Structure 1
Amino acid sequence: MQALKWIRYGAWAAVAILVFVSAAILIGWWQVDGPGRKRTEVATFAVGGPFTLVNHKGETVTEATYLGKPTLVFFGFTHCPEVCPTTLFEISNQLGKLGPDADRLQVLFVTVDPERDTPAQMALYLQSFDSRIIGLSGTQAQVDTALSAYKVHAKRIETESGYTMDHTASVYLMDAKGRFKSMIDYHEDDAAALEKIRLLLNARG
């Protein structure tokens, strides 16, 4: 129970930090100057960048692999007791509600625990969620590079039975060119989350 308490508090603390940053720099993600006028894109925070990882099918991938479609990126781990399965369940439901538009979207689940989350373990875990969700793992160094690129907090916490991971609980919304656009916070209202995803899918540029 103590480990679960740390995960909840740590995850919410990370969310609070990210929400504060995003609020400061993402207000007015896209603005419309007026009826019939051209949309103006607002500068976005430097989140995302180069990485090399292995998907749950054992294939080596990079950030370039996922260019061309908007992408949801979520960092977590398969031994997570609450935050990760809840988030992946919510994403699975959102994909269902999007209907055919869901096929225009990519979803990446990147482990923060490569010691236990091999590609085979990721594949087994993801059987419980929407089949379109892609699991990514790699060496510790490779995962650390991805964590740094996405400004993700991840910390190992020792427990009586082994260890758990404290980590950022938000979902990152990246456009088709790999640019950060917004976030879905842990347990955000489903209607608000869907609206953000639809904005991402319909964004120009």
Structure 2
Amino acid sequence: MTRLQKGLWAAVAVAALGAGAQAVMESRAPEVATSAASLVVAEFELTGHDGVVRTEEDFWGKWTLVFFGFTNCPDICPTTLAEIAQVMDDLGPQADAVQPLFISVDSDRDRPMDLAEYVPLFHPSILGLTGTPDQIEAAAASFKIFYERVPEEDAPDGYMMGHTSQVFLFDPDGGFVRLYGYGTPAPEITSDLSARIDARN
């Protein structure tokens, strides 16, 4: 783990202590039900933090880890991004077969330039994606995820975002594979994903 990533982990720990209420609010957001998992598809047209417009087809050929969140999230999002960063480091050479995506549910505050300042701090392989409200709504509908704006006086611009906090895994053909629940340890994700990569090869 790099010095920067260690610093981010420390910041995550501090945020977790100071933002318990927000963590509870976000963790109560509805999760994707197991019964609905077979209906999950990855369909989107969003702009990357590098300014390039991407669709799901751009990531075919790789295993894709997808997480929805927002840059002003004090707890769940940075914790999950740090876990994904650890997974990418621990996969070693197998990481070349994986593309992590962070899709913002906060189109008003998360422009490509904002994601470009935030997402790469966790890991250079993670790509942040954002879009118009309609584009984000369409992406969320295809993944069957929940998100909503929640008024919060002390938050930046007076609101936070409640959202589904699971991580989605798609195979190189773009097919949905499974969900990793919030809080799934990085070693568990790494072990599962590594075995799938080996089995496909």
| Normalised TM-score (structure 2) | 0.83
SS in 1 for 2:28: helix
Structure 2 letter corresponding to 1:172: F
SS in 2 for 1:45: helix
Q: Which of 46, 57, 60 does residue 50 from structure 2 map onto?
A: 57
Evaluate the alpha carbon distance shift between residue 158 and residue 105 of structure 1 in structure 2; reply closer, same or farther with a 3 A threshold. Answer: same
Evaluate the alpha carbon distance shift between residue 71 and residue 112 of structure 1 in structure 2; reply closer, same or farther with a 3 A threshold. Answer: same
* 8 A Cα contact 1:173 1:200, kept in partner: no
Aligned residue in 2 for 1:149: 142
Give aligned pairs, total.
182
Q: Which of 17, 20, 27 does residue 12 from structure 1 map onto?
A: 27
Deviation at 1:12, TM superposition (A): 2.5
Evaluate the alpha carbon distance shift between residue 120 and residue 128 of structure 1 in structure 2; reply closer, same or farther with a 3 A threshold. Answer: same
Deviation at 1:7, TM superposition (A): 3.6
Structure 2 letter corresponding to 1:8: A
Deviation at 1:168, TM superposition (A): 0.8
Structure 2 residues not aligned, in runs of 5+: 1-18
Identical columns (%): 37
Structure 1 letter corresponding to 2:89: G
Distance 2:74 2:148 in 1: 15
Aligned residue in 2 for 1:135: 128
* 8 A Cα contact 2:87 2:187, kept in partner: no
Given the alignment of the two structures, is residue 109 of structure 1 paired with residue 124 of structure 2, yes or no?
no
Given the alignment of the two structures, is residue 77 of structure 1 paired with residue 73 of structure 2, yes or no?
no
Structure 1 residues not aligned, in runs of 5+: 26-43
Q: Which of 80, 86, 91 does residue 87 from structure 1 map onto?
A: 80
The structure richer in helix per residue is 2
| Normalised TM-score (structure 1) | 0.81
Given the alignment of the two structures, is residue 190 of structure 1 paired with residue 186 of structure 2, yes or no?
yes
Query: Which protein shows a greater Rg?
Result: 1
Aligned residue in 1 for 2:167: 171
